[in-house]
Structure 1
Amino acid sequence: MDHMASGNGLSASQGGYRLASKDTTLLSGEQAAYRFTVTGPDGKPLTDFAVDQTKRMHFYAIRSDLTGFQHVHPTMAADGTWSADLSTLTPGSWRMFASFTPNTGTGKGDDFVLSRTVAVSGNAVKTPLPAPATSTQADGYTVTVRGEPMAGMAHPLTVSIAKAGKPVTDLEPYLDTYAHLTAFHEGDAAFAHLHPTTKVSGDNGGPDLSFHAELPTSGNWRLFLQFQTGGKLHTAALTLRVG
Structure 2
Amino acid sequence: MSAPARIASFAALLVAIFAAAAVAGARLDPTVDDNGGAHEEGDLQMNGHGATTTRPQQPTTGADPRGAGAAVPGLAVAEGGYRLVPERTALEPGPSARYGFRIVDEGGETVDAFDVEHERRMHLIVVRRDFAGFQHLHPRQLDDGSWAVEADLSAAGVYRVFADFATADRSLTLATDLFVAGRFDPQPLPAVAETADAGDGYRVSLESGPARSGAATPVEFAVRRGGRELDSIEPYLGADGHLVALREHDQAFLHTHPEGEAGGPSPISFQVAYPTPGRYRLFLQFRHRGEVRTAAFTQEVRGSRASGATEPGAQEHSDGGH
If the length of structure 1 is used for normalisation, what is the TM-score?
0.92
Question: Could you tell me how far 1:3 is from its partner in structure 2?
Answer: 6.4
Q: Which one scores higher on RCO, CA 8 angstroms, separation ≥ 6?
A: 1
Confirm or deny that 1:97 pairs with 2:162. yes
Question: Of residues 83, 99, 106 in structure 2, which corresponds to 1:18?
Answer: 83
Indicate if the aligned counterparts of 2:87 and 2:99 stay in contact, CA closer than 8 A: no
SS in 2 for 1:206: coil
Q: Secondary structure at the match of 1:111?
A: strand
Aligned to 1:215: 274
Distance 2:158 2:58 in 1: 30
Question: Whole-Å Cα distance in 1 between the matches of residues 145 and 173 of structure 2?
Answer: 17
**TM-fit CA distance, 1:49:** 0.4
Identity of aligned residues (%): 36
CA deviation map 1:46-77 (0-9, x unaligned):
11100001000000001110111000000011
**Quick one: which of 287, 291, 315 aligns to 1:232?**
291
The superposition leaves residues 120-162 of structure 1 with CA deviations (integer Å, 9 ceiling, x where unpaired) of 1000011121111111111111111123221222111111111
- Which structure would you say has the larger Rg? 2
Asked if the contact 1:194/1:214 (under 8 Å) is kept, the reply is no
The structure where helix makes up a greater share of residues is 2
Query: What whole-Å deviation, never above 9, does each CA across 1:28-63 have from its counterpart, x for those lacking one?
Result: 243211100001234211111000010000000011
Q: Counterpart of 1:182 in structure 2: which amino acid? A: V
Task: After TM superposition, list the pairs within 5 Å mapping 1:11-160 onto structure 2.
Answer: 11-102=76-167, 108-139=168-199, 140-145=201-206, 146-160=208-222
Give the TM-score of the pair, scaled to structure 2: 0.70
Q: How far, CA to CA, are the matches of 1:229 and 1:3 in structure 2?
A: 21
Residue 158 of structure 1 aligns with an amino acid whose one-letter code is: E
Query: What letter matches 2:286 in structure 1?
Result: F
Q: What is the root-mean-square deviation of aligned Cα atoms in Å?
A: 1.5
Q: Unmatched 5+ residue regions in structure 2?
A: 1-56, 65-71, 303-322
Q: How does 1:165-204 map to 2 (within 5 A)?
A: 165-201=227-263
Bigger share in strand: 1
Deviation at 1:194, TM superposition (A): 2.5
Q: CA–CA distance in 2 between the matches of 1:3 and 1:74?
A: 23
SS in 2 for 1:19: strand
- Alpha-carbon shift at residue 117 of structure 1 (Å): 0.3
Match of 1:164 in 2: 226
Aligned length: 235
CA shift digits 1:65-114 (9 cap, x unpaired):
01110000000112111002102331111111000000xxxxx2111000
Separation (CA, whole Å) in 2 of partners of 1:71 and 1:2: 20
* Deviation of 1:8 (Å): 2.3
Distance in 1 between residues matched to 2:276 and 2:88, nearest whole Å: 30
| Matches of 1:174 and 1:30, distance apart in 2 | 24
User: 1:61, 1:69 within 8 Å by CA — same for their partners in 2?
Assistant: yes
Give the secondary-structure state (helix, strand or coil) at the position aligned to 2:219: strand
Using a 3 Å threshold, how does the CA distance of structure 1 residues 135 and 240 change in structure 2: closer, same or farther? same
Distance 1:51 1:187, change over 3 A: same
